[in-house]
């Protein structure tokens, strides 16, 4: 059975931004290869302006975020929904709910609306109290207007069960194990293979970047640390001004070339993962796939993925002590290998795509049968 599928809630593909775009970049062509007709909604100013990419139809909708800021996301989502109402889709996969759920009542009737619930957005430290209240409201709307839901972490799955009494399907993100890494890449950033530390993240407070930098600067290590990420936002500028004078800290800016990112992770001595909210984080999976030795913030999300195959920190002091005492050896090599094997076994893209396809089929079957039952009920019991 071939489905007509719309994927919404991203800035578009190919990926030039983040996690949901990365998911769509893999998922959409994968579903096409299975015989489905897939459309991805993209921002009108996306760097790639083609109407089709790897067999996926691309619809560009006006997105005023570039001049309006975050408020523009609401208009972009509305434009996407108004367009999707004109089409004849079987399934709408909405990635995230932050700015889309307020328009939930406008989703076309007779179509399966499937939400990927993302992380717990209202817990993010970068948002004001008022914004957090709105995000919690948006979360409730997403629960109300979606018929079926996906969680990318068992932790998120339990949250929705406990708070709203609803079931969500657990489907994680995916990653690809890299077989080769260019040894010259670290050198081009001023560090030697195996002799530097690495942090890669968006410059946001909930990623504990300042905690990591504070712990690093308090240590007596002579190793350097690369900070990969765009520092153009307020918090990024603050970090660069506050810690940029330490010659051991190198702010590289954002790096999007997958081969470079893989090589930097592969040859790092230690990889910091400070994310503290959300579900199965794509950058964490990529670090595992690159066989990086991971030093992660101690929370349920990270432990659910890494288990005993990582070291954990909860404070800057933890980081300082670990850096000064860390030597590395056979135990760490085994941790790297086991994390790589987890990608192959549990977080590989073919498996993730198959799980999405299977769940979409199940949802459509349940939705159609439910509609037919409702029609029969109204016809024969309500006159």
Q: How far apart are the first and last CA of the chain?
A: 34
Q: What is the pLDDT of residue 370?
A: 78
Structure tokens at 347: 């977080």
**Given pLDDT bands bounded at 50, 70 and 90, which one contains residue 371?**
low
**Given pLDDT bands bounded at 50, 70 and 90, which one contains residue 352?**
very high
| Span 57-89, pLDDT tens digits | 999 999 999 889 889 999 999 999 999 999 999
**Given pLDDT bands bounded at 50, 70 and 90, which one contains residue 25?**
very high
Average pLDDT of the segment spanning 286-305: 96
Rg (CA), the chain: 22
Average pLDDT of the segment spanning 255-269: 94
Average pLDDT of the segment spanning 158-173: 94
Average pLDDT of the segment spanning 183-201: 97
Q: What is the pLDDT of residue 376?
A: 45
CATH architecture group of domain 4-174+348-381: 3-Layer(aba) Sandwich (3.40)
Which residues are 150's β-sheet partners? Answer: 116, 169
**Given pLDDT bands bounded at 50, 70 and 90, which one contains residue 374?**
low
Q: Which 8-state DSSP code applies to residue 12?
A: -
Q: What is the pLDDT of residue 38?
A: 98
310/303 Cα distance (integer angstroms) = 9
| Span 197-243, pLDDT tens digits | 999 998 988 899 999 999 999 999 999 999 999 999 999 999 999 99
**pLDDT of 373 above 60:** no
Q: What is the pLDDT of residue 383?
A: 44
Residue holding tokens 């996306």? 46
Average pLDDT of the segment spanning 176-204: 94
* Buried-state track 221-242, b at ≥16 Cβ within 10 A, e below 16: bebbbbbbbebeeebbeebbee
Count Cβ atoms below 10 Å from residue 368 Cβ, excluding itself. Answer: 13
Average pLDDT of the segment spanning 297-307: 95
| Span 105-123, pLDDT tens digits | 999 999 999 999 976 777 7
Average pLDDT of the segment spanning 269-295: 93
Average pLDDT of the segment spanning 46-57: 97
Give span(s): CATH 3.40.50.2000, the chain: 4-174+348-381, 184-346
Domain 184-346 falls under CATH 3.40.190.10: no
List, in order, residues 6 or more apart from 113 with CB less than 8 Å away. Answer: 92, 94, 104, 107, 145, 146, 147, 148
24/352 Cα distance (integer angstroms) = 12
Which pTM value belongs to this model? 0.89
Structure tokens at 193: 């293979």
**pLDDT of 138 above 60:** yes
**pLDDT of 265 above 70:** yes
Q: What is the pLDDT of residue 278?
A: 73
What mean pLDDT, rounded, does the chain reach? 92
| Span 307-343, pLDDT tens digits | 999 999 999 999 999 999 998 888 999 999 999 999 9
* Buried-state track 251-276, b at ≥16 Cβ within 10 A, e below 16: bbeebeeeebbbbbbbbbbbbbbbbb
Q: What is the pLDDT of residue 302?
A: 95
In this prediction, what percent of the chain has a pLDDT beyond 70? Answer: 96
Q: What is the pLDDT of residue 118?
A: 79
145/366 Cα distance (integer angstroms) = 16
Listing DSSP states for 214-231 in one string gives: HHHHHS----EEEEES--
């Amino acid at each position: 059975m071939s489905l007509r599928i719309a994927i919404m809630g991203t800035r578009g593909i190919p990926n030039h931004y983040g996690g949901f775009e990365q998911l769509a970049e893999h998922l959409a062509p994968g579903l096409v290869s299975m015989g489905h007709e897939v459309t991805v909604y993209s921002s009108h100013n996306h760097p790639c302006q083609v109407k089709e990419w790897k067999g996926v139809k691309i619809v560009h909708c006006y997105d005023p975020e570039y001049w309006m800021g975050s408020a523009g996301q609401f208009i972009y989502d509305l434009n996407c929904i108004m367009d999707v109402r004109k089409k004849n889709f079987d399934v709408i996969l909405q990635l995230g709910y932050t700015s889309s759920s307020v328009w939930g009542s406008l989703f076309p009737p007779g179509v399966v609306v499937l939400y990927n619930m993302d992380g717990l957005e209202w817990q993010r430290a970068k948002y004001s109290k008022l914004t957090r209240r709105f995000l919690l409201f948006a979360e409730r709307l997403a629960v109300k207007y979606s018929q079926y839901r996906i969680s990318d972490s068992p932790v998120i799955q339990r949250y929705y069960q406990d708070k709203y009494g609803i079931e969500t399907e657990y489907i994680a993100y995916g990653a690809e194990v890299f077989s080769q890494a260019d040894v010259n890449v670290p050198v081009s950033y001023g560090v030697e293979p195996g002799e530097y530390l690495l942090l890669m993240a968006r410059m946001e407070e909930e990623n504990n970047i300042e905690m990591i930098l504070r712990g690093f600067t308090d240590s007596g290590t002579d190793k350097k640390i690369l900070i990969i990420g765009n520092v153009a936002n307020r918090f990024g500028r603050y970090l660069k001004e506050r810690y940029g004078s330490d010659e051991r800290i190198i702010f590289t800016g954002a790096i999007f070339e997958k081969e470079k990112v893989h090589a930097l992770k592969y040859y790092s001595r230690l990889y910091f993962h400070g994310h503290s909210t959300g579900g199965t984080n794509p950058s964490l999976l990529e670090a595992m796939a690159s066989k990086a030795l991971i030093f992660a913030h101690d929370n349920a999300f990270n432990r659910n993925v890494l288990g005993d195959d990582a070291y954990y920190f909860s404070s800057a002091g933890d980081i300082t002590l670990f850096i000064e005492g860390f030597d590395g050896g056979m135990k760490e090599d085994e941790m790297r290998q086991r994390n790589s094997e987890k990608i192959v076994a549990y977080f590989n893209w073919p498996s993730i795509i198959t799980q999405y396809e299977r769940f979409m089929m199940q949802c459509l079957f349940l939705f159609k049968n439910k509609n037919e039952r409702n029609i029969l009920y109204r016809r024969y019991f309500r006159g």
